[in-house]
Amino acid sequence: MKLYLKNNLLFSFLICFTFAFVLNAQTVKIKFIETSDVHGAILPYDFVNDTTTNSSLAQVHSYVIMERNLSGQHVILLDNGDILQGDPLVYYFNYEDTAATHIYAQAMNFMSYDVATIGNHDIETGHCVYDKFRTEINFPWLAANAVNTQTGKPYFEPYTIIEKEGVKIAVLGLITPGIPHWLPENIWEGIEFEDMIESAKKWVPIIQQKENPDLLIGLFHSGVDYTYNGETNETYRNENASQLVAEQVPGFDIVFVGHDHSGWNFKTVNANNDSVLILGPLSRARTVAVATVTMSLDSTLNKWTKENITGDIVEIAMYRPDNHFMSKFMMSLSITGNYVAKPLGEITKSISSKASIFGPSEFIDLIHTFQLETTNADISFVSPLSFNSEIDSGWIYVRDMFKLYRYENFLYTMELTGQEIKDYLEFSFAGWFDLMESDDDHLLNFKMDKEGSLIYSQRSSSPMLVQRYYNFSSAAGIKYTVDVTKPAGEKVNIKSLSNGSPFVLTEKYKVAINSYRGNGGGGHLTTGAGIPEEELSTRVITSTDKDLRFYMMKWIEKKKKITPIIIGNWKVIPEIFWEIGKERDYKILYKK
């Protein structure tokens, strides 16, 4: 009898001990799935080239459904901005059908997003678009450092709290503060974009004291490379400060990034020597960034601990579009298909953006002609916004306008002096063309290693240029040469205005220029021409009230027939160097 009682007590003790251990070891698995920089790619269809694609939200939805159906885990779906620009589908709902609920709001609500951060290209659509959009979505739209100048409080929501099985998750949103450099003030009027590090240092203590979260997630529409465009870790309002925030502001467990389209998956260490996972996907829903977190509860202390945090980048091409998603938005596909198929006029000759990377081109000169005729300016500045686009001869359709001009920039007329125009061009060509001492040298200013070999991008396997191609800005309205045997700052020789009148360095001229460049984007007006950033807005004489592409479409409709030509107002010298260098570098850049 005594032995029976002893064994029974031992058995009871073991049961209690096991039960207590189970309670103490309760675990919760949470999977975070991030989309970013989707740029309107809702459906697996390329409206510009009239063909199907292998990346879209329709396919992301299939992956998300699969993950939601797996037992033993919770899924949190996040987006990191730049959704309302970049595709005819969203352009149509931005500016043509403005009465309906925005197609992207419908898609995100259908997918049950938990939270998102707004991106700079979402701001680019203008107050009417993004203010309406935020009323149509069923989840918080974040940006703690986008501050309402009237109230001093965030214009969007600063952070949100999500709970899964008792695990409290805080998500802080930040947006790149470079917007005033790229966009006209009327687009972001009433908003100040604070430095990301300063804003994070303000909001993280607030979140920790008020919410006491078990996990702190950063959802930052900003890139990782803080040295981009000549900036440093000391640059105030650094465009790409995501990693700087992760390292300098303790508390974050995961920082999801965007804006740079680069695809990141690595860990860094913050000021407290704690590990922070940094994740970011490629653009247009080609990949999603996934973080898997296992949390363990100590019931005695009633405290969650982070057992494991891992990151992954998932390719979306392997997933089929979700049938229910496709059925839901098939009508929008049809409506947008009809919209982009609308003929605007005829173009008598095929044009390609490739030639514009190497010098004068019909592609760029067509935009120059439009800008000069539309604004009645003296001079026009244009850069190639497409690396590899072609428009065939014959009818030109709405879809072709997205090849000719990719972004929703406005068209400015600005007042610049002759000296500022020359300095602008010197800055442009210093980053564009290399110093050629013989015809064996490169025409383009490629990035080189210490041995003088080309540096290739790890992401695209393409040779890297010192400046991005969209900063290769040329001018019309003046006659000039670019001498590639001369050093930076001495390459440009302006001979006259195109009408033969003298070009005077002290004279003031009206210049047609897009709003990105006119607000200091690329540094041509600030670093190049030496105009203080705060002075740029005072130089704007006129601005269109709609994007430049809209007015290009109206211009072509009015013309009915356009014949692309090379204006012939500038050339690269010595011409033999240019011809040989162009042929060689074309093969390197386009692998042909």
Same domain, 382 and 313: no
Looking at the structure, do residues 105 and 236 belong to the same domain, yes or no?
yes
What's the mean pLDDT in 414-427?
Answer: 98
Residue-range definition of the domain harbouring residue 179: 26-336
Tell me which of 313, 336, 359 is where a domain ends.
336
Q: What tens digit of pLDDT does each residue of 430-487 get?
A: 999 999 999 999 999 999 999 889 999 876 788 999 999 999 999 999 999 999 999 9
User: Which of 281, 306, 336 is the last residue before a domain boundary?
Assistant: 336
Question: Residue 133, SS3?
Answer: helix
Answer whether residue 237 is part of any domain.
yes
**The predicted structure's pLDDT at residue 506:** 98
Q: Judge if 178 and 229 occupy the same domain.
A: yes
Q: What percent of the chain is modeled with pLDDT above 90? A: 87
Q: Residue 406 CA to chain centroid, in angstroms?
A: 12
3-state secondary structure (DSSP) of residue 19: helix
What is the C-alpha to C-alpha distance for residues 231 and 460, in angstroms, rounded to an integer?
Answer: 23
Enter the pTM of the model.
0.86
Query: Which pLDDT value is given to residue 76?
Result: 98
- Sorting pLDDT into bands at 50, 70 and 90, what band is 25? low
Q: Are residues 332 and 375 in the same domain?
A: no
Which amino acid is present at 434?
D
Q: Residue 11 above 60 pLDDT?
A: no
- Asked whether residue 326 falls in the same domain as residue 349, the answer is no
Q: How sure is the predictor about 15, in pLDDT bands with cuts at 50, 70 and 90?
A: very low
Please give the Cα distance from 173 to 218 (Å, whole number). Answer: 6
Residues 503, 443 share a domain: yes
Strand bridging mode 74-79 / 26-35: parallel
- Sign, CA torsion 312/315/316/320: negative
Residue 9 lies in a domain: no
Could you tell me the pLDDT band of residue 134, with boundaries at 50, 70 and 90?
very high
* Least confident piece of the model among 109-118, 405-414, 483-492, 524-533: 405-414
Phi/psi of residue 137, nearest 5 degrees: -95, 155
292: β partners: 31, 310
Residue 297 DSSP SS3: strand
Percent of residues in the chain assigned helix, strand, coil, to nearest 5 = 35, 25, 40
Which CATH number goes with the domain that contains 40? 3.60.21.10
Site of tokens 């200013």: 445
Q: How many Å separate Cα 127 from the centre of its chain? A: 18
42 neighbors 103 (Cβ within 8 angstroms): yes
User: In angstroms, what CA-CA distances link 404 with 112, 334, 357, 385, 401?
Assistant: 35, 23, 14, 8, 5
Is the same domain home to 322 and 351? no
Which CATH number goes with the domain that contains 349? 3.90.780.10
- Give the residue-averaged pLDDT of 96-105: 96
Residue range 26-48: mean pLDDT, rounded: 97
Residue 515 inside a domain? The answer is yes
pLDDT of res. 516: 92
Task: Give 390: exposed, middle or buried? Use CB within 10 Å, 0-12, 13-18, 19+.
Answer: middle
Q: With 60 as the cut, is the pLDDT of residue 17 above it? A: no
Question: pLDDT by residue (tens digit) across 530-550?
Answer: 999 899 999 999 999 888 999
For helices 57-69 and 103-111, angle between their N-to-C axes, nearest 10 degrees: 20
Same domain, 526 and 562: yes
Per the domain annotation, does 218 fall within a domain? Answer: yes
3-state secondary structure of 46: strand
Give the separation between CA 49 and CA 477, rounded to whole angstroms.
33
Last residue of a domain, one of 336, 356, 385: 336
Specify the pLDDT at position 374: 96
Separation CA 319–CA 322 (nearest Å): 9
Q: Are residues 287 and 410 in the same domain?
A: no
Any idea what DSSP says for residue 463? B
End-to-end Cα, the chain, rounded Å: 93
Q: Are residues 182 and 267 in the same domain?
A: yes
Give strand pairing partners of 397: 343
Q: Is residue 21 part of a domain?
A: no
Q: Per-residue pLDDT tens for 384-419?
A: 988 889 999 999 999 999 888 887 889 999 999 999
β-bridge pairing 254-257 and 215-221: parallel
In this prediction, residues 505-513 reach a mean pLDDT of 98
Our count of domains for the chain comes to 2
The pLDDT of residue 181 is 85
| pLDDT in the model for residue 10 | 45
Taking the CA of residue 4 as centre, how many other CA atoms within 13 Å lie in the half-sphere pointing to its CB? 1
Q: Are residues 308 and 363 in the same domain?
A: no
379-382/287-298 β-pairing:
unpaired
What pLDDT sits at residue 23?
41
Instruction: Please report the DSSP string for 324-390 in residue order.
Output: HHHHHHHHHHHHHHHHHT-EEEEESS-EESGGGGTS--HHHHHHHHHHHHHH--SEEEE----SS-E
Quick check: is 10 in a domain?
Answer: no
Same domain, yes or no: 378 and 315: no
Task: Judge whether 16 lies within some domain.
Answer: no
Q: Any residues with CB less than 8 A from the CB of 468 and at least 6 apart, and which? A: none
How large is the C-alpha radius of gyration of the chain?
27
Rounded to 5 degrees, φ, ψ at 119 are -110, 170
* pLDDT score at 302: 86
Assess if residue 3 is contained within a domain: no
Q: What is the mean pLDDT of the chain?
A: 93
Q: Which of 33-42, 445-454, 494-503 has the lowest mean pLDDT?
A: 445-454
| Residues 157, 169: Cα–Cα separation, whole Å | 16
Is residue 193 within 8 Å of 177, Cβ to Cβ? yes
Question: Which residues 6+ apart lie within 8 Å of 576 measured at CB?
Answer: 439
